[in-house]
């Protein structure tokens, strides 16, 4: 009765089974995967957020497929603040219900059923589902860790086939935390032009740069006003303003004028078909974006405190190390690959009540990687890392 695309294996894997058992037994857990900022002890400006949602104008329904002009102006202002020289145009912007919807619009815009998107791995696990639901196939290419993360361009060229329509990257990436380098950005655009591909860049973590991070290459800034290839930047309130529950995202298009114009006309019709972003949220968007500075400062402080604690604990042993990170909300730990990452994660949960994510969730090429969230409340993070190191050391 059902479509093949929804033929998902719905059985629990060993890790989710272990977590369910742990919770059913009423055992507490030190959750080092906590990355929902609304429950990580941050101080939100409640009054500003709630009053933004009470706008009287929201009583009127006056839909605009790209998003209300006042809401789009606020997003343009966000980018102008980042780069006053950027070439920005509200007509090249379309608001969506979160970035996930933005992906579905783009996949619909670019792909026939069975077409492919080349995607960097390791990366955000939801891409698999977002693509399958839209009948799109992912063609992975690797990010390699060699003196920091970098794109394997040889692998990328091999991943591009006759049905490839776009290259997709996260900037900075989840969970590896690397930004696309300025030199890599040039090469990506050249490849897109050569093969007639769009470039899709997910910038939800762009504002979370780790101060003093060891970076070997010049980083590219936002891709919001590039010239050479048709480019779609995705972002939204979920990370920028630490408000995932608001479900406000956007697509900003740039590149050769004619292509952008054509893309926007088509996207506008896709959006007009659903008109899914609610009026109260669009009216609230300027105020919700306006409080991002306060939130970002708190999150970056937390991330830096946790990374300093992690480094201090790592310096006292030599079995576990962390990979370099330039930005984002996660840290990747290199652990001895003497068992699968899943086995180690289950052991950490069952024997030490610590929850981490095994690297294979993110399609790391090998075993030996665990991912932890650096948004975890600091005392919980410190104790969790202590137990993790003890577990790996066999204590
Ligand atoms: C790379 C990346 N993009 C998008 C999202 C989710 O964005 P949204 O809540 O706007 O759908 C996430 C969430 O973790 C993410 O890691």
Per-residue DSSP letters for 317-336?
-SS-EE----BSSEEEEE--
Strand-by-strand arrangement of the 330-334 sheet = 321-322, 330-334, 369-373, 357-358
Q: Which CATH number among 3.40.50.620, 3.90.1150.10, 3.40.50.720, 1.10.580.10 corresponds to the domain 4-43+293-392?
A: 3.90.1150.10
Q: What pTM, to 2 d.p., does this model score?
A: 0.97
For the chain, the domains span 4-43+293-392, 58-291
244 Cβ closer than 6 Å to some ligand 1 atom: yes
Atom nearest to 173 CA in ligand 1: 1
204 Cβ closer than 6 Å to some ligand 1 atom: yes
Q: Which of 97, 204, 241 to mutate to test the pocket of ligand 1 (most atoms within 8 A of CB)?
A: 204
Atom nearest to 170 CA in ligand 1: 1
Nearest CA to 101 among 79, 120, 126?
126
Q: Which CATH number among 3.40.50.720, 3.90.1310.10, 3.40.640.10, 3.90.1170.50 corresponds to the domain 58-291?
A: 3.40.640.10
- With a CB cutoff of 8 Å and minimum separation 6, the contacts of 128 are 138
Q: For position 10, what pLDDT does the model report?
A: 84
Atom nearest to 101 CA in ligand 1: 11
Q: How big is the CA angle at 281 (ends 275 and 284), to the nearest 5 degrees?
A: 140
Task: At 267, list the tokens.
Answer: 């996207």
Contact criterion met (CB below 8 Å) for 222 and 84: no
332 bridge partner residues: 371
333 bridge partner residues: 322, 370
The residue nearest atom 4 of ligand 1, judged by CA position, is 99
Task: At 83, list the tokens.
Answer: 């780069």
Contact criterion met (CB below 8 Å) for 179 and 214: no
Q: For position 213, what pLDDT does the model report?
A: 79
The residue nearest atom 15 of ligand 1, judged by CA position, is 124
Per-residue DSSP letters for 180-215?
PBHHHHHHHHHHHHHHT-EEEEE-TTTT-BPTT---
- With a CB cutoff of 8 Å and minimum separation 6, the contacts of 81 are none
124 Cβ closer than 6 Å to some ligand 1 atom: yes
Q: Which of 34, 130, 171, 174 to mutate to test the pocket of ligand 1 (most atoms within 8 A of CB)?
A: 174
Rounded to an integer, what distance in angstroms lies between the CA atom of residue 161 and that of residue 172?
Answer: 26
Q: What is the pLDDT along the chain (395 residues), one digit of tens a residue?
A: 999 999 988 889 999 999 999 999 999 999 999 999 999 999 999 999 999 999 999 999 999 999 999 999 999 999 999 999 988 999 999 999 999 999 999 999 999 999 999 999 999 999 999 999 999 999 999 999 998 999 999 999 999 999 999 999 999 999 999 999 999 999 999 999 999 999 999 999 999 999 887 777 899 999 999 989 999 999 999 999 999 999 999 999 999 999 999 999 999 999 999 999 999 999 999 999 999 999 999 999 999 999 999 999 999 999 999 999 999 999 999 999 999 999 999 999 999 999 999 999 999 999 999 999 999 999 999 999 999 999 999 87
The residue nearest atom 6 of ligand 1, judged by CA position, is 99
Per-residue DSSP letters for 125-152?
TTHHHHHHHTT-EEEEEEEEESSSEEE-
* HSE of 279, CA atoms in CB hemisphere, 13 A: 11
Atom nearest to 249 CA in ligand 1: 10
Nearest CA to 131 among 186, 168, 78?
168
* HSE of 114, CA atoms in CB hemisphere, 13 A: 2
Rounded to an integer, what distance in angstroms lies between the CA atom of residue 292 and that of residue 313?
Answer: 31
Distance 98 CA to ligand 1 centre (A): 8
Phi then psi for 96, rounded to 5 degrees?
A: -135, 165
- Tell me if residue 169 falls in helix, strand or coil: strand
Position of tokens 């933004």? 52
37 Cβ closer than 6 Å to some ligand 1 atom: no
């Amino acid at each position: 009765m059902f479509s093949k695309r929804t033929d998902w294996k719905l059985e629990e894997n060993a890790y989710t089974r272990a977590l369910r058992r742990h919770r059913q037994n009423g055992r507490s857990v030190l959750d080092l995967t906590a990355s929902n900022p609304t429950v990580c002890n941050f101080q939100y400006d409640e009054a500003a957020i709630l009053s933004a949602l009470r706008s009287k104008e929201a009583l009127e329904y006056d839909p605009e497929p790209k998003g209300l002009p006042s809401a789009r102006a606020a997003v343009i202002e966000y980018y102008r603040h980042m780069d006053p020289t950027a070439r920005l145009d509200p007509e090249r912007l379309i608001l969506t219900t979160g970035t996930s919807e933005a992906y579905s619009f783009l996949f619909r815009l670019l792909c026939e059923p069975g077409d492919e998107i080349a995607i960097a791995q390791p990366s955000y696990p939801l891409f698999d589902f977002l693509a399958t639901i839209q009948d799109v196939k992912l063609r992975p290419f690797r990010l390699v860790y060699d003196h920091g993360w970098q794109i394997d361009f040889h692998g990328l060229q091999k991943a591009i086939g006759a049905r490839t329509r776009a290259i997709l990257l996260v900037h900075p990436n989840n969970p590896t935390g690397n930004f696309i380098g300025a030199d890599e950005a040039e090469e990506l655009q050249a490849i897109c032009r050569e093969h007639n591909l769009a470039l899709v860049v997910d910038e939800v973590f762009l504002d979370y740069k780790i101060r003093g991070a060891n970076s070997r290459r010049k980083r590219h800034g936002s891709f919001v006003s590039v010239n050479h290839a048709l480019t779609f930047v995705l972002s939204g309130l979920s990370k920028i303003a630490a408000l995932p529950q608001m479900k406000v995202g956007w697509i900003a298009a740039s590149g050769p004028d004619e292509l952008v114009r054509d893309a926007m006309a088509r996207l506008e019709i896709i959006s007009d078909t659903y008109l899914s972003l609610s009026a109260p949220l669009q009216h609230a968007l300027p105020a919700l974006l306006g409080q991002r500075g306060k939130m970002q400062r708190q999150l970056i402080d937390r991330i830096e405190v946790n990374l300093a604690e992690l480094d201090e604990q790592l310096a006292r042993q030599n079995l576990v190390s962390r990979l370099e990170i330039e930005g984002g909300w996660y840290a990747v730990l290199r652990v001895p690959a003497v068992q699968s990452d899943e086995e180690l994660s289950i052991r950490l949960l069952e024997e030490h009540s610590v929850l981490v994510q095994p690297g294979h969730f993110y399609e790391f090429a090998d075993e030996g990687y665990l991912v932890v969230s650096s948004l975890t409340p600091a005392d919980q993070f410190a104790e969790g890392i202590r137990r993790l190191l003890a577990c790996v050391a066999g204590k």
